[in-house]
Amino acid sequence: MAKENSQHTINKEEKVISIHDVHKSFGELKVLEGVNLDVFKGENMVVLGRSGTGKSVLIKLIVGLLKQDRGNVNVLGKDVARLNEKELNELRLRIGFSFQNSALYDSMNVRQNLAFPLVMNKKHLSKQEINTAIEEVLEAVGLKDKMEQLPSDLSGGQRKRIGIARTLILKPEIMLYDEPTSGLDPITSAEINELINEVQEKYNTSSIIITHDLTCAKETGDRVAMLLDGVFVRVGSFDEVFESQEERIQGFYNYNFTK
């Protein structure tokens, strides 16, 4: 099902991420060459591109792990490159990052994995409040019965869900998904796509979804931005992006997504 049929409200008067004329190189390697992108409040924005096109670099600029060579990255009203370490950490608490490999601690069970960010960042919470928060996010991702299990006991799709739950537990305003369906079978991928949309609806998050999975893009993206050769060559609905006859875009459409 295409995402355009969604009734979710997007506030186009409020930009939560604004990227303007951003350039980033590593030595002689030019990765981003004048990127422009706005993400609105409540919007799922998909960034599509082949491996190595700069999608992950863009995410690192948004959370301040890298600094651009030129241009501006503004997140939740903050000029990211100008923030000091304390201000950056405060901003990062408002941004949830769902890692490609879920990034769970193997030695901790699901409950302990979910409690960890709260214990580290919300020291005022009581044990009961932490338990309530854990139950709420596990309910949201449909895995309340896995609370005492270790990550090694879970399937790949279940680990992805727990990784998303651990991100949600801090109630972020922005969600960043890095290849959320990578390595998953089609049925599990469809479940993760559905979960991304449910998170948007329930938590009113704004999201950037980094992927090269066309099905994920079509089912989760309110808009899609195609990143090719260091710039966004097309931004719009899934159909608007791929109605282009440009050879590079059509080539991407026909690309083998096993890479």
* 128/108 Cα distance (integer angstroms): 19
Instruction: Write down the pTM of the prediction.
Output: 0.90
Q: Is the pLDDT of residue 149 over 50?
A: yes
Q: What is the pLDDT of residue 3?
A: 67
Q: Is the pLDDT of residue 153 over 60?
A: yes
Q: What is the pLDDT of residue 258?
A: 38
* 136/138 Cα distance (integer angstroms): 6
Enumerate residues 6+ apart whose C-beta is below 8 A from 169.
114, 117, 118, 133, 134, 137
pLDDT digits (tens, 9 = 90+) for 160-200: 999 999 999 999 999 999 999 988 999 999 999 999 999 99
Judge if 112 and 222 occupy the same domain.
no
User: What's the CATH number where 194 sits?
Assistant: 3.40.50.300
Judge if 202 and 89 occupy the same domain.
yes
Asked whether residue 3 is domain-assigned, the answer is: no
Q: What is the pLDDT of residue 160?
A: 92
Judge if 178 and 251 occupy the same domain.
yes
Judge if 179 and 255 occupy the same domain.
yes
Q: Which of 6-20, 88-102, 242-256 has the least mean pLDDT? A: 242-256
* 59/210 Cα distance (integer angstroms): 9
Asked whether residue 165 is domain-assigned, the answer is: yes
The residue behind tokens 């990255």 is 73
Count up the domains in the chain and report the number: 2
Asked whether residue 101 is domain-assigned, the answer is: no
3-state secondary structure of 63: coil
pLDDT digits (tens, 9 = 90+) for 243-259: 888 888 888 877 644 34
Asked whether residue 183 is domain-assigned, the answer is: yes
Supply the range of the domain harboring residue 86.
13-94+174-259
* 81/16 Cα distance (integer angstroms): 16
